[in-house]
Amino acid sequence: MIKVRNLAKHFGELVVLRDVSVDIKKGEIITVIGPSGTGKSTFLRCLNLLETPTGGQIFIDDIPLLDKNTNIPKLRQKMGMVFQGFNLFAHLTVLENLTLGPIKLLGKKKEEANKKAMELLKLVGLAEKAHAFPDELSGGQKQRVAIARCMAMEPEILLFDEPTSALDPTMVSEVLAVIRRLAREGMTMIIVTHEMEFARNISSRVFYMDEGIIYEEGPPNQIFENPLKEKTKAFINRIRSLHYAITSENYDLYAMQAEMEAFCEKHGLTKKVAGFVALMAEEVLGLQKDFADVKLGLAYSEKDGTVEMLCESSGLPENPFDEGVMADDIGIKLIKGRCKSVDYDYKDGKNVLLLKVKGE
Ligand code: ADP
Ligand code: MG
Protein backbone atom coordinates (compact mmCIF):
# COMPACT_ATOMS: atom_id res chain seq x y z
CA MET A 1 0.00 0.00 0.00
CA ILE A 2 2.81 2.41 0.90
CA LYS A 3 6.22 2.02 -0.65
CA VAL A 4 9.01 4.34 0.44
CA ARG A 5 12.32 4.36 -1.40
CA ASN A 6 15.44 6.23 -0.32
CA LEU A 7 13.42 8.97 1.28
CA ALA A 8 15.54 11.90 2.42
CA LYS A 9 14.65 15.13 4.15
CA HIS A 10 17.12 17.87 4.94
CA PHE A 11 16.45 21.17 6.67
CA GLY A 12 19.33 23.25 5.35
CA GLU A 13 22.44 21.55 6.66
CA LEU A 14 20.50 19.31 8.99
CA VAL A 15 19.97 15.83 7.62
CA VAL A 16 16.91 14.48 9.39
CA LEU A 17 16.02 11.58 7.12
CA ARG A 18 19.02 10.16 5.33
CA ASP A 19 17.74 7.11 3.53
CA VAL A 20 14.43 5.56 4.49
CA SER A 21 13.12 2.63 2.48
CA VAL A 22 10.20 0.57 3.63
CA ASP A 23 7.02 -1.17 2.51
CA ILE A 24 3.78 -1.07 4.45
CA LYS A 25 0.96 -3.42 3.59
CA LYS A 26 -2.76 -2.85 3.89
CA GLY A 27 -4.03 -3.60 7.38
CA GLU A 28 -0.62 -3.31 9.02
CA ILE A 29 -0.26 -1.47 12.26
CA ILE A 30 3.12 0.14 12.45
CA THR A 31 4.39 1.90 15.53
CA VAL A 32 7.35 4.21 15.22
CA ILE A 33 9.55 4.66 18.26
CA GLY A 34 12.90 6.28 18.94
CA PRO A 35 14.60 9.12 20.79
CA SER A 36 13.21 12.58 20.19
CA GLY A 37 14.65 14.50 17.29
CA THR A 38 15.28 11.40 15.19
CA GLY A 39 12.80 12.36 12.49
CA LYS A 40 9.70 10.38 13.46
CA SER A 41 7.36 13.33 12.91
CA THR A 42 9.25 14.36 9.80
CA PHE A 43 8.76 10.86 8.40
CA LEU A 44 4.99 11.04 8.91
CA ARG A 45 4.85 14.57 7.56
CA CYS A 46 6.70 13.51 4.43
CA LEU A 47 4.27 10.65 3.89
CA ASN A 48 1.34 12.99 3.59
CA LEU A 49 3.34 15.81 2.06
CA LEU A 50 3.11 18.26 4.92
CA GLU A 51 6.85 18.38 4.22
CA THR A 52 8.38 18.12 0.78
CA PRO A 53 11.01 15.39 0.78
CA THR A 54 14.50 16.36 -0.36
CA GLY A 55 14.92 13.08 -2.22
CA GLY A 56 13.58 9.61 -2.78
CA GLN A 57 10.19 8.31 -3.71
CA ILE A 58 6.90 7.47 -2.07
CA PHE A 59 4.27 5.31 -3.71
CA ILE A 60 0.72 5.01 -2.46
CA ASP A 61 -0.98 2.06 -4.12
CA ASP A 62 1.78 2.23 -6.75
CA ILE A 63 1.05 5.87 -7.59
CA PRO A 64 4.18 8.01 -7.21
CA LEU A 65 3.32 10.70 -4.69
CA LEU A 66 6.16 12.99 -5.68
CA ASP A 67 5.48 12.86 -9.40
CA LYS A 68 4.39 16.21 -10.85
CA ASN A 69 1.49 14.65 -12.70
CA THR A 70 0.00 12.96 -9.67
CA ASN A 71 -3.28 14.25 -8.31
CA ILE A 72 -1.98 15.13 -4.85
CA PRO A 73 -5.19 16.26 -3.11
CA LYS A 74 -6.88 13.01 -4.10
CA LEU A 75 -4.01 10.87 -2.82
CA ARG A 76 -3.80 12.90 0.31
CA GLN A 77 -7.41 12.18 1.09
CA LYS A 78 -6.44 8.55 1.47
CA MET A 79 -4.40 9.55 4.50
CA GLY A 80 -5.74 11.04 7.69
CA MET A 81 -3.40 12.46 10.26
CA VAL A 82 -4.03 12.91 13.99
CA PHE A 83 -1.68 15.25 15.79
CA GLN A 84 -0.65 15.78 19.38
CA GLY A 85 -2.86 18.87 19.68
CA PHE A 86 -6.43 18.36 18.62
CA ASN A 87 -6.92 21.25 16.19
CA LEU A 88 -10.69 21.19 16.42
CA PHE A 89 -12.61 24.23 15.22
CA ALA A 90 -13.62 25.93 18.46
CA HIS A 91 -16.63 27.75 16.98
CA LEU A 92 -18.18 24.58 15.55
CA THR A 93 -19.97 21.84 17.44
CA VAL A 94 -18.48 18.38 17.60
CA LEU A 95 -20.89 17.22 14.90
CA GLU A 96 -20.07 20.18 12.66
CA ASN A 97 -16.37 19.50 13.11
CA LEU A 98 -17.01 16.04 11.72
CA THR A 99 -19.24 17.05 8.81
CA LEU A 100 -17.39 20.12 7.53
CA GLY A 101 -14.76 18.18 5.56
CA PRO A 102 -17.10 15.57 4.10
CA ILE A 103 -19.55 18.27 2.91
CA LYS A 104 -16.95 20.70 1.55
CA LEU A 105 -14.32 18.32 0.25
CA LEU A 106 -16.12 15.07 -0.45
CA GLY A 107 -19.30 16.76 -1.69
CA LYS A 108 -21.55 14.85 0.68
CA LYS A 109 -25.10 15.87 1.45
CA LYS A 110 -25.65 17.20 4.92
CA GLU A 111 -27.92 14.36 6.03
CA GLU A 112 -25.54 11.73 4.83
CA ALA A 113 -22.59 13.48 6.49
CA ASN A 114 -24.54 13.79 9.74
CA LYS A 115 -25.47 10.14 9.71
CA LYS A 116 -21.90 9.03 9.14
CA ALA A 117 -20.64 11.49 11.77
CA MET A 118 -23.03 10.09 14.37
CA GLU A 119 -21.85 6.57 13.61
CA LEU A 120 -18.28 7.65 14.11
CA LEU A 121 -19.08 9.49 17.32
CA LYS A 122 -20.64 6.27 18.57
CA LEU A 123 -17.50 4.42 17.62
CA VAL A 124 -15.36 6.75 19.73
CA GLY A 125 -17.91 6.79 22.57
CA LEU A 126 -18.98 10.41 22.19
CA ALA A 127 -22.40 10.31 20.54
CA GLU A 128 -23.92 12.25 23.40
CA LYS A 129 -21.46 15.10 22.87
CA ALA A 130 -22.49 15.68 19.25
CA HIS A 131 -23.86 19.14 20.00
CA ALA A 132 -21.23 20.20 22.50
CA PHE A 133 -18.46 22.63 21.62
CA PRO A 134 -14.82 21.54 21.84
CA ASP A 135 -14.06 23.60 24.93
CA GLU A 136 -16.75 21.70 26.84
CA LEU A 137 -14.73 18.51 26.37
CA SER A 138 -11.79 17.04 28.23
CA GLY A 139 -8.48 16.56 26.43
CA GLY A 140 -9.14 12.87 25.95
CA GLN A 141 -12.58 13.56 24.52
CA LYS A 142 -11.18 16.20 22.16
CA GLN A 143 -8.62 13.77 20.87
CA ARG A 144 -11.31 11.15 20.30
CA VAL A 145 -13.31 13.71 18.33
CA ALA A 146 -10.18 14.52 16.33
CA ILE A 147 -9.83 10.83 15.48
CA ALA A 148 -13.49 10.61 14.48
CA ARG A 149 -13.10 13.72 12.35
CA CYS A 150 -10.19 12.11 10.59
CA MET A 151 -12.24 8.98 9.96
CA ALA A 152 -15.09 11.06 8.55
CA MET A 153 -12.89 11.77 5.54
CA GLU A 154 -12.84 8.01 4.91
CA PRO A 155 -9.10 7.62 4.81
CA GLU A 156 -7.45 4.33 3.96
CA ILE A 157 -4.47 5.02 6.15
CA LEU A 158 -4.32 6.76 9.49
CA LEU A 159 -1.18 8.49 10.67
CA PHE A 160 -0.87 9.36 14.35
CA ASP A 161 1.85 11.63 15.68
CA GLU A 162 2.07 11.08 19.43
CA PRO A 163 -1.69 11.18 19.85
CA THR A 164 -1.56 10.96 23.63
CA SER A 165 1.44 13.02 24.58
CA ALA A 166 -0.50 16.24 25.19
CA LEU A 167 -2.97 14.49 27.48
CA ASP A 168 -3.17 14.14 31.24
CA PRO A 169 -2.15 10.62 32.22
CA THR A 170 -5.73 9.78 33.21
CA MET A 171 -6.92 10.38 29.65
CA VAL A 172 -4.31 8.44 27.77
CA SER A 173 -6.07 5.10 27.99
CA GLU A 174 -9.39 6.25 26.52
CA VAL A 175 -7.60 7.47 23.41
CA LEU A 176 -5.47 4.35 23.12
CA ALA A 177 -8.63 2.26 23.46
CA VAL A 178 -10.16 4.05 20.47
CA ILE A 179 -7.02 3.46 18.40
CA ARG A 180 -7.12 -0.21 19.39
CA ARG A 181 -10.71 -0.38 18.26
CA LEU A 182 -9.78 1.00 14.83
CA ALA A 183 -6.96 -1.52 14.66
CA ARG A 184 -9.42 -4.34 15.23
CA GLU A 185 -11.52 -3.05 12.38
CA GLY A 186 -8.59 -3.49 10.04
CA MET A 187 -7.51 0.13 9.57
CA THR A 188 -3.98 0.61 8.26
CA MET A 189 -2.14 2.77 10.74
CA ILE A 190 1.25 4.30 11.38
CA ILE A 191 1.57 5.51 14.95
CA VAL A 192 4.43 7.48 16.46
CA THR A 193 4.21 6.86 20.18
CA HIS A 194 6.02 6.82 23.50
CA GLU A 195 3.49 4.44 24.99
CA MET A 196 5.61 1.33 24.89
CA GLU A 197 3.16 -1.15 26.35
CA PHE A 198 0.61 0.01 23.81
CA ALA A 199 3.13 -0.22 20.97
CA ARG A 200 4.01 -3.70 22.05
CA ASN A 201 0.44 -4.91 22.12
CA ILE A 202 -0.96 -3.26 19.04
CA SER A 203 1.80 -3.36 16.44
CA SER A 204 2.29 -5.76 13.64
CA ARG A 205 5.72 -4.18 13.21
CA VAL A 206 7.76 -1.65 15.10
CA PHE A 207 10.13 0.81 13.46
CA TYR A 208 12.94 2.12 15.61
CA MET A 209 14.23 5.35 14.09
CA ASP A 210 17.71 6.67 14.64
CA GLU A 211 20.58 8.06 12.55
CA GLY A 212 18.22 9.27 9.82
CA ILE A 213 17.04 5.80 8.95
CA ILE A 214 14.71 3.09 10.16
CA TYR A 215 17.58 1.74 12.18
CA GLU A 216 15.84 -1.48 13.15
CA GLU A 217 12.43 -2.86 12.38
CA GLY A 218 10.71 -6.04 13.39
CA PRO A 219 7.84 -7.59 15.27
CA PRO A 220 7.26 -6.13 18.75
CA ASN A 221 8.80 -9.16 20.43
CA GLN A 222 12.07 -8.61 18.65
CA ILE A 223 12.26 -4.88 19.21
CA PHE A 224 11.19 -4.90 22.85
CA GLU A 225 12.77 -8.13 24.03
CA ASN A 226 15.61 -9.04 21.71
CA PRO A 227 16.65 -5.98 19.76
CA LEU A 228 19.47 -6.94 17.42
CA LYS A 229 21.30 -3.66 17.04
CA GLU A 230 23.31 -1.57 19.43
CA LYS A 231 21.27 1.64 19.53
CA THR A 232 17.96 -0.16 19.73
CA LYS A 233 19.25 -2.10 22.72
CA ALA A 234 20.42 1.07 24.44
CA PHE A 235 17.09 2.80 23.79
CA ILE A 236 15.02 -0.11 25.06
CA ASN A 237 17.16 -0.34 28.18
CA ARG A 238 16.80 3.35 28.76
CA ILE A 239 13.04 3.39 28.52
CA ARG A 240 12.89 0.49 30.90
CA SER A 241 14.50 2.49 33.64
CA LEU A 242 14.39 5.79 35.47
CA HIS A 243 17.31 7.38 37.29
CA TYR A 244 17.57 10.09 39.88
CA ALA A 245 20.64 11.66 41.43
CA ILE A 246 19.86 13.42 44.67
CA THR A 247 22.45 15.73 46.16
CA SER A 248 20.55 17.58 48.86
CA GLU A 249 17.53 17.12 51.04
CA ASN A 250 15.59 19.60 48.94
CA TYR A 251 14.59 17.14 46.26
CA ASP A 252 11.04 17.08 44.91
CA LEU A 253 9.63 13.82 46.23
CA TYR A 254 6.17 14.31 44.78
CA ALA A 255 7.36 14.98 41.24
CA MET A 256 9.57 11.91 41.49
CA GLN A 257 6.71 9.76 42.72
CA ALA A 258 4.38 10.98 39.97
CA GLU A 259 7.01 10.15 37.37
CA MET A 260 7.55 6.70 38.85
CA GLU A 261 3.84 5.98 38.83
CA ALA A 262 3.56 7.06 35.21
CA PHE A 263 6.56 4.89 34.38
CA CYS A 264 4.93 1.84 36.00
CA GLU A 265 1.63 2.42 34.25
CA LYS A 266 3.41 2.83 30.92
CA HIS A 267 4.75 -0.65 31.41
CA GLY A 268 1.28 -2.00 31.95
CA LEU A 269 1.46 -2.32 35.74
CA THR A 270 -1.67 -1.60 37.71
CA LYS A 271 -2.29 1.62 39.60
CA LYS A 272 -1.95 -0.35 42.79
CA VAL A 273 1.55 -1.56 41.94
CA ALA A 274 2.49 1.91 40.74
CA GLY A 275 1.31 3.23 44.11
CA PHE A 276 3.47 0.68 45.97
CA VAL A 277 6.50 1.66 43.96
CA ALA A 278 5.99 5.32 44.78
CA LEU A 279 5.56 4.41 48.44
CA MET A 280 8.73 2.30 48.39
CA ALA A 281 10.66 5.25 46.99
CA GLU A 282 9.43 7.37 49.85
CA GLU A 283 10.39 4.71 52.40
CA VAL A 284 13.82 4.13 50.92
CA LEU A 285 14.52 7.85 50.94
CA GLY A 286 13.17 7.97 54.47
CA LEU A 287 15.97 5.61 55.52
CA GLN A 288 18.71 7.99 54.44
CA LYS A 289 20.81 9.65 57.08
CA ASP A 290 21.94 12.28 54.66
CA PHE A 291 21.21 13.21 51.05
CA ALA A 292 24.64 14.29 49.86
CA ASP A 293 24.95 11.50 47.36
CA VAL A 294 21.92 9.34 46.71
CA LYS A 295 21.26 7.56 43.47
CA LEU A 296 17.84 6.08 43.03
CA GLY A 297 16.93 3.98 40.02
CA LEU A 298 13.85 2.16 38.86
CA ALA A 299 13.88 -0.61 36.29
CA TYR A 300 11.13 -2.73 34.89
CA SER A 301 11.93 -6.34 34.26
CA GLU A 302 9.91 -7.79 31.45
CA LYS A 303 10.80 -11.35 32.38
CA ASP A 304 9.37 -11.63 35.85
CA GLY A 305 7.11 -8.60 35.71
CA THR A 306 8.76 -6.97 38.69
CA VAL A 307 9.95 -3.47 39.27
CA GLU A 308 13.42 -3.17 40.73
CA MET A 309 14.36 -0.22 42.82
CA LEU A 310 18.04 0.34 43.31
CA CYS A 311 19.40 2.82 45.80
CA GLU A 312 23.11 3.56 46.03
CA SER A 313 23.97 5.92 48.77
CA SER A 314 26.54 6.90 51.33
CA GLY A 315 23.67 7.96 53.56
CA LEU A 316 22.03 4.60 54.15
CA PRO A 317 22.36 3.09 57.62
CA GLU A 318 24.74 0.16 57.79
CA ASN A 319 22.49 -2.87 57.62
CA PRO A 320 18.93 -1.79 58.27
CA PHE A 321 17.43 -5.11 57.32
CA ASP A 322 19.33 -7.26 59.79
CA GLU A 323 17.35 -8.84 62.60
CA GLY A 324 17.10 -6.54 65.53
CA VAL A 325 18.45 -3.46 63.80
CA MET A 326 15.66 -0.94 63.29
CA ALA A 327 13.17 -3.78 63.65
CA ASP A 328 10.44 -1.44 64.76
CA ASP A 329 10.93 1.02 61.95
CA ILE A 330 7.67 1.38 60.01
CA GLY A 331 9.51 1.97 56.75
CA ILE A 332 11.50 -1.26 57.11
CA LYS A 333 8.34 -3.18 57.94
CA LEU A 334 6.54 -1.79 54.92
CA ILE A 335 9.41 -2.58 52.62
CA LYS A 336 9.78 -6.12 53.93
CA GLY A 337 6.06 -6.72 53.70
CA ARG A 338 5.55 -5.52 50.20
CA CYS A 339 8.66 -6.51 48.32
CA LYS A 340 9.31 -9.83 46.70
CA SER A 341 12.94 -9.57 47.72
CA VAL A 342 15.21 -7.15 49.55
CA ASP A 343 18.96 -7.28 48.97
CA TYR A 344 21.42 -5.18 50.81
CA ASP A 345 25.10 -4.83 50.11
CA TYR A 346 28.12 -2.65 50.60
CA LYS A 347 30.01 -1.88 47.41
CA ASP A 348 32.75 0.60 46.52
CA GLY A 349 32.26 2.62 49.69
CA LYS A 350 28.54 2.80 49.21
CA ASN A 351 25.54 1.01 50.51
CA VAL A 352 23.41 -0.58 47.88
CA LEU A 353 19.82 -1.53 48.40
CA LEU A 354 17.91 -3.52 45.81
CA LEU A 355 14.18 -4.03 46.17
CA LYS A 356 11.98 -6.07 43.93
CA VAL A 357 8.42 -4.93 44.00
CA LYS A 358 5.84 -7.52 43.03
CA GLY A 359 4.08 -6.72 39.79
CA GLU A 360 1.00 -8.81 40.81
P1 ADP B 1 10.94 13.53 16.30
O2 ADP B 1 9.52 13.57 15.88
O3 ADP B 1 11.58 12.19 16.12
O4 ADP B 1 11.15 14.04 17.69
P5 ADP B 1 11.25 15.56 14.29
O6 ADP B 1 10.93 14.88 13.03
O7 ADP B 1 10.21 16.43 14.88
O8 ADP B 1 11.78 14.49 15.34
O9 ADP B 1 12.53 16.47 14.10
C10 ADP B 1 13.77 15.96 13.66
C11 ADP B 1 14.76 17.10 13.57
O12 ADP B 1 14.38 17.97 12.52
C13 ADP B 1 14.85 17.94 14.83
O14 ADP B 1 16.19 18.27 15.04
C15 ADP B 1 14.05 19.17 14.47
O16 ADP B 1 14.53 20.29 15.18
C17 ADP B 1 14.26 19.30 12.99
N18 ADP B 1 13.15 19.94 12.29
C19 ADP B 1 11.89 19.46 12.22
N20 ADP B 1 11.09 20.26 11.50
C21 ADP B 1 11.88 21.28 11.08
C22 ADP B 1 11.66 22.44 10.27
N23 ADP B 1 10.46 22.71 9.74
N24 ADP B 1 12.70 23.28 10.07
C25 ADP B 1 13.91 23.00 10.59
N26 ADP B 1 14.19 21.92 11.34
C27 ADP B 1 13.20 21.07 11.58
MG1 MG C 1 7.83 14.24 16.91
Q: How far apart are the first and last CA of the chain?
A: 42
**For the chain, where are the alpha helices, taking DSSP H only?**
40-47, 72-76, 94-104, 110-123, 139-152, 169-184, 196-202, 220-225, 230-239, 253-266, 271-286, 330-338
Q: Give the pLDDT of residue 204.
A: 94
- How do residues 140-185 score in pLDDT, each as one tens digit? 999 999 999 999 999 999 999 999 988 887 788 899 999 999 999 8
Query: What Rg do the C-alpha atoms of the chain give, in angstroms?
Result: 24
Q: Give the pLDDT of residue 334.
A: 85
Residue 212, ligand 1, Cβ within 6 A: no
Ligand 2 (ion): which residues have CB within 5 A? 41
How does residue 21 score in pLDDT terms, banded at 50, 70 and 90?
A: very high
Q: What is the pTM of this model?
A: 0.79
Residue 80, ligand 1, Cβ within 6 A: no
Of 6-10, 151-155, 203-207, 304-308, the one with minimum mean pLDDT is 304-308
Residue 9, ligand 1, Cβ within 6 A: no
Mean pLDDT value across the chain: 91
Residue 141, ligand 1, Cβ within 6 A: no
Residue 9 near residue 54, CB atoms below 8 Å: yes
Q: Give the pLDDT of residue 328.
A: 74
Quick one: average pLDDT of 38-45? 96
How far is Cα 129 from Cα 287, in angstroms, rounded to an integer? 51
From the centroid of its chain, how far is CA 263? 11
- CA distances (Å), 310 to each of 65, 83, 307, 326, in order? 51, 37, 10, 20
How does residue 335 score in pLDDT terms, banded at 50, 70 and 90?
A: confident
Distance between Cα 340 and ligand 1 center (Å)? 44
Q: Is the pLDDT of residue 327 over 80?
A: no
- 10, 11, 38: residue to mutate for ligand 1 pocket, most atoms within 8 A of CB: 11
Q: Give the pLDDT of residue 67.
A: 87
Quick one: average pLDDT of 235-249? 88
Tell me what percent of the residues of the chain surpass a pLDDT of 70: 99
